[in-house]
Structure 1
């Protein structure tokens, strides 16, 4: 497959593009952001309209972007990989599949897994613990959350309100526990576990459940979940994959308090943990392609070091983003001169270390240094502009 082209579309497709380059592929990319490192990685690029977290990436413009990129890619093209942003639009996925070879879950599979009421019913039939869901009306909303069907990234999750859920949304019962992700490769019949990740949020006033980051523990560390819970969750995802024909790289979101566990949803696509999981020797993106074709793929062993990726959100408005020397551990780097609003994704920070605690501490330090660097550069640019205005006005420099 070396040298072949691949089409990539997601809200942010940089991680997919970087994985494609590691695999020796030529990425042709469509996404919302057009970050500097995405453009450096891409053989061809098309921007998409849309709003982050809605689950309806690009609309009909996505079809045009993929058609244009396919023309640039030429005949040696493996197909198209869709990342986050299509969960709420299986009809759009079906149209893409009619025009291009779709590498990943089929539109019908996505529709089955991302329909909240249907998925809850399927979990019930299979005996899989899943929080209760309803469209309402709710008399007492205290024990419930409001979620958008097909939403991603946690930004769409709110406290429930009285009455019925708005169109396109649903209520899910609150359950206790920490968040985990089970990354798997599915071949339409069964799964192979890639990794268990620990996940956390960085809430804001408007988005209290906003996704922040994920971590994979090192090989020598104690497991993040008891073995019995991990085995039960793995069996549940295996049965769901067989029931829905799931193929490709996917992840299951879990909540557990250490004694009980609940499967909250399955994301039938490569996700936000790709940065920390694609370090197993063989290419995880090529494994995704193979699994999409129905091949049974066995991931490589867990790496020795722990690894984590965390979204760094804007501490304030950057209008525009100043020109800085971005550190090597920063990804999704916004182009200088573009705007990033407060609380919007600014970049992604990566870290590896001997264990989970060391990696989390490294992320905190790197985030603090990055914000200081941005603040200093913006101060320097402002002082330079003031000095230039003074000279233009004839004042002392």
Structure 2
């Protein structure tokens, strides 16, 4: 069975599928260097000369040979395209019906019934009352388009207000079969940064561990309760993610990502090297892994990833792709590619025995990338003068 992996970026999903030994082909916007060394890979930009959209992904997929499909971000926001994929082949993941979990109003109504905390959201102009508010797109992904709202500021069409909850951004992953689920990991999540700002996704560190053991147990119990409720309420299947805020020992659910999400490659490194197999098994047979996350929390290593964004217009060094790959860099662009400010350049990974050392190694890896970008961009700009 050949599996089509598709989304805005498919590299992490392809790495998971290749590690589990599946016959797969990918279709995304970027077609990065390292992706093409994992499996047959097609790029909307390179192979079709078109921009990114869910509709363009569907049109390109019709020209490829595949029997089953697994989607990544942001196809969960496009149920009609997901329905067409399901009509052509076997859909391994959540179908249009399960994607009701992406409907903000239906989700919040369900959370209210389930006694799950969530920040107040509204489509009407809120009265501040001392609260801070965010403006968020109804169809969001990766934190794009999310910003603090200033009173009097116009709100774009298709956006809404959400009360800002201070605390630690957290993501959690679980695998489900429509009736039951298993939580696979809880990670600390990072966003923004001086070159990107706002709430754009920046990376994760796993595990996220509150300082006290009792607090850790309560956190994991809450995550399991949230995941079990969502699985039953919406019939979720395969790998799913939750974006959460942990504040004063309370957990708030922000949104559900009903597909493979960015933090999951760290879980594959930390706990589940064949994470993609868990997804396929749950979708095809309903079988869930026997896995207990707390067993890994006693003296855990820490794994991290960080998206490196361009601070200015940069040019990627020529003939350095293999070196970057050997150094553990991922999502590697082609040498000579020009990347505008605020756009992602690549992803760096790190592992260490403590959270602090893991973050320090991510800092070092990012600095190494930036030094190469600065040298190459300087040479390029001199040649252009």
TM-score by length of structure 1 reads 0.85
In the alignment, which residue of structure 2 is the partner of 1:14? 11
Distance 1:89 1:210, change over 3 A: same
Task: Report whether the alignment pairs 1:62 with 2:63.
Answer: no
Q: Is the 8 A contact 1:157 1:207 kept in 2?
A: no
- Cα drift, residue 243 of structure 1: 0.7
- Cα drift, residue 340 of structure 1: 1.1
In the alignment, which residue of structure 1 is the partner of 2:91? 102
Q: Is the 8 A contact 1:229 1:261 kept in 2?
A: yes
In the alignment, which residue of structure 2 is the partner of 1:248? 238
Task: Report whether the alignment pairs 1:314 with 2:306.
Answer: no
Q: Is the 8 A contact 1:194 1:299 kept in 2?
A: no
**Distance in 2 separating the partners of 1:35 and 1:370:** 16
Larger Rg: 1
- Cα drift, residue 264 of structure 1: 0.8
Distance 1:294 1:128, change over 3 A: farther
Q: Is the 8 A contact 1:188 1:242 kept in 2?
A: yes
Q: Which moved more, 1:90-99 or 1:154-163?
A: 154-163
State how 1:277-292 maps to structure 2 within 5 Å. 277-279=267-269, 280=271, 282-292=273-283
**Distance in 2 separating the partners of 1:222 and 1:184:** 23
Residue number among 114, 134, 145 corresponding to 2:122 in the alignment: 134
Q: Is the 8 A contact 1:117 1:134 kept in 2?
A: no
Runs (5+) with no aligned partner, structure 1: 52-57, 390-397
**Distance in 2 separating the partners of 1:264 and 1:299:** 28
Q: Which moved more, 1:116-125 or 1:58-67?
A: 58-67
**Distance in 2 separating the partners of 1:328 and 1:30:** 25
**Distance in 2 separating the partners of 1:26 and 1:9:** 14
In the alignment, which residue of structure 1 is the partner of 2:251? 261
* Structure 1 stretches of 4+ moved >6 Å: 221-224
Q: Which moved more, 1:123-132 or 1:196-205?
A: 196-205
Give the alignment's Cα RMSD to 1 decimal: 2.7
Distance 1:92 1:352, change over 3 A: same
Task: Report whether the alignment pairs 1:120 with 2:108.
Answer: yes
- Cα drift, residue 205 of structure 1: 7.5
Q: Which moved more, 1:88-97 or 1:11-20?
A: 88-97
**Distance in 1 separating the partners of 2:238 and 2:146:** 27
State how 1:1-397 maps to structure 2 within 5 Å. 4-47=1-44, 49-50=50-51, 58-70=53-65, 73=66, 77=67, 79-110=68-99, 112-140=100-128, 143-161=132-150, 162=152, 165-204=155-194, 207-217=197-207, 226-279=216-269, 280=271, 282-298=273-289, 304-318=300-314, 320-323=315-318, 324=320, 325-326=323-324, 327-380=326-379, 385=383
1:292-324 deviation digits (Å, cap 9, x = unpaired): 235131265666521111111112211x32213
Three-state SS of the structure 2 residue aligned to 1:297 is coil
- Cα drift, residue 358 of structure 1: 1.3
**Distance in 2 separating the partners of 1:368 and 1:203:** 14
Three-state SS of the structure 2 residue aligned to 1:189 is coil
**Distance in 1 separating the partners of 2:363 and 2:202:** 12
**Distance in 2 separating the partners of 1:103 and 1:115:** 21
- Cα drift, residue 203 of structure 1: 3.6
Runs (5+) with no aligned partner, structure 2: none
**Distance in 2 separating the partners of 1:203 and 1:152:** 17
**Distance in 2 separating the partners of 1:207 and 1:90:** 30
- Cα drift, residue 281 of structure 1: 5.2
**Distance in 2 separating the partners of 1:185 and 1:337:** 40
Q: Which moved more, 1:85-94 or 1:8-17?
A: 85-94
Q: Which moved more, 1:264-273 or 1:88-97?
A: 88-97
**Distance in 1 separating the partners of 2:58 and 2:362:** 37
**Distance in 1 separating the partners of 2:156 and 2:290:** 41
Three-state SS of the structure 1 residue aligned to 2:339 is coil
- Cα drift, residue 164 of structure 1: 8.1
In the alignment of these two chains, the number of paired residues is: 369
TM-score by length of structure 2 reads 0.88
Q: Which moved more, 1:174-183 or 1:164-173?
A: 164-173
